[in-house]
Amino acid sequence: MRQRRSPAEEEEALRISNAIDEELRREREAMRRRKAKDVKVMLLGQAESGKSTLQKQFQLYYSSSTLDRERASWRPIVYFNILKAIRMILEELDWEYGLGASGPGDPLSVSPGLLPSTSGTGTGSGGSGSGSSTHSRAANPAWFPELGLLRNKLLPLVASEDALASELSGGVHVAGGKTGVYVRSGWQALTSANRSWPLAENFTQAGGGGKQAQWAVTNIVAKTLAASMDEVEMLWWHPGVQSLLKGNKLKLEEYAAFFLANIRRIAQADYMPSNEDILHVRLQTIGVTEHAFDINLGGTNYNWLLYDVGGARGQRHAWVPFFDDATAIIFLAPISAFDQVRPPASFLTRFD
Ligand SMILES: Nc1nc2c(ncn2[C@@H]2O[C@H](COP(=O)(O)OP(=O)(O)OP(=O)(O)O)[C@@H](O)[C@H]2O)c(=O)[nH]1
Ligand SMILES: [Mg+2]
């Protein structure tokens, strides 16, 4: 007759059995992968043509569990996109109407030196400079003081943009972050489908001591956003802002309208990005990133290796080595660009 095992022996036997099962599963997986064919697909196209967005759609369709693991990591990037959109709106208002009192310490980049003096700037003190441009600023409309108040209330939020970029870049200060150049060292390596996601860990362990401290700026931005969501909403739907958008004077990136219209949901304390949020996020790709998916087509298994490249001109040299053994290329052309007009004069003058 067999002797009964003690609870400790039972536990040990279960551990060994589970380890064997796991080893068998890994071997089966490796064998399946060896049998599967490699398909190397390159995503090419200009910057902001939607390469990374298409990659995320592949991930959502074929490997949604990995997107779930990453979900929390996208939260600070959504905040970062929102801060940039608000800053661009305020800068354009400053430029058009001399709304703010730009000067030392003001986080907005339209400094008095760049603003030409024009008549009708009223209370806006930003118009006292002697810039060489021919920009003539619009006269103060009736809602001028109202937008001025909103601007003042939103400045602390906008002022966090560079600090947030720096925190997301792993402590590396990103010079020129305000022009949209954004680098998160190691971000690309972390996005491969079979790696865990340290950022997500930080957020899922809310209140978990030391790790939370690393995300101090993100947490402050989340709180500031929650406290100023009314102002963000008022700014976005304000007739002064909407008329600049309609007149093509204010050109925002694709994500801005979506995130700003959803600010109430995003500003909640327990906010977790939805699939749609993740698809709307704009994060410039640096270098080339590889994403692996297992795809079954007509009963055959394929290992799809998707190469998402940086589309900006300075990034294109990195594409070359990947052409040699590429199975296919998906080239993206943004149809949203078909009716794009020249950048507004304010943009050209400021950044030329
Ligand atoms: N309306 C609309 N927006 C899109 C579509 N595809 C992408 N976008 C948006 O356009 C932007 C495209 O950004 P990315 O996908 O990061 O562009 P990218 O080609 O990877 O750019 P780089 O990494 O700089 O080369 C994102 O904000 C997306 O939300 C689309 O089909 N429709
Ligand atoms: Mg990209």
In the prediction, which pLDDT does 277 show?
A: 96
Determine which residue's CA is closest to atom 7 belonging to ligand 1: 50
Q: Which residue has the higher pLDDT, 341 or 14?
A: 14
State if residue 284 touches ligand 1 by the CB under 6 angstroms criterion. yes
State if residue 112 touches ligand 1 by the CB under 6 angstroms criterion. no
What does the alpha-carbon distance between residue 128 and residue 103 come to, in Å, rounded to a whole number?
A: 11
Q: Are 81 and 259 in contact (CB under 8 A)?
A: yes
What does the alpha-carbon distance between residue 12 and residue 6 come to, in Å, rounded to a whole number?
A: 10
From the CA of 309, give the closest atom in ligand 1.
25
Q: Which two tokens stand for residue 127?
A: 């118009």
State if residue 59 touches ligand 1 by the CB under 6 angstroms criterion. no
Q: Are 86 and 60 in contact (CB under 8 A)?
A: no
Whether 200 maps to a domain, the answer reads yes
Query: What is the gyration radius of the CA atoms in the chain, in angstroms?
Result: 25
How much is the mean pLDDT over the chain?
76
Overall pTM > 0.80: no
Task: Find the 334 Cα to ligand 2 centroid distance in Å.
Answer: 13
- Per the structure, how many domains does the chain have? 1
State if residue 202 touches ligand 1 by the CB under 6 angstroms criterion. no
Whether 21 maps to a domain, the answer reads no
> Average pLDDT of 169-188?
47
Q: Which domain holds residue 340?
A: 37-122+139-351
In one-letter notation, the amino acid at residue 344 is P
pLDDT surpassing 50 at residue 270: yes
Whether 13 maps to a domain, the answer reads no
Whether 49 maps to a domain, the answer reads yes
In the prediction, which pLDDT does 54 show?
A: 95
pLDDT confidence bin for 24, thresholds 50/70/90? very high
123 is in an annotated binding site: no
> Average pLDDT of 151-170?
84
Q: Are 47 and 310 in contact (CB under 8 A)?
A: yes
Catalogue the E-assigned strands of the chain.
Answer: 37-45, 288-297, 300-309, 328-332
Determine which residue's CA is closest to atom 27 belonging to ligand 1: 282
CA 122-260-179 angle, 5° bins: 70
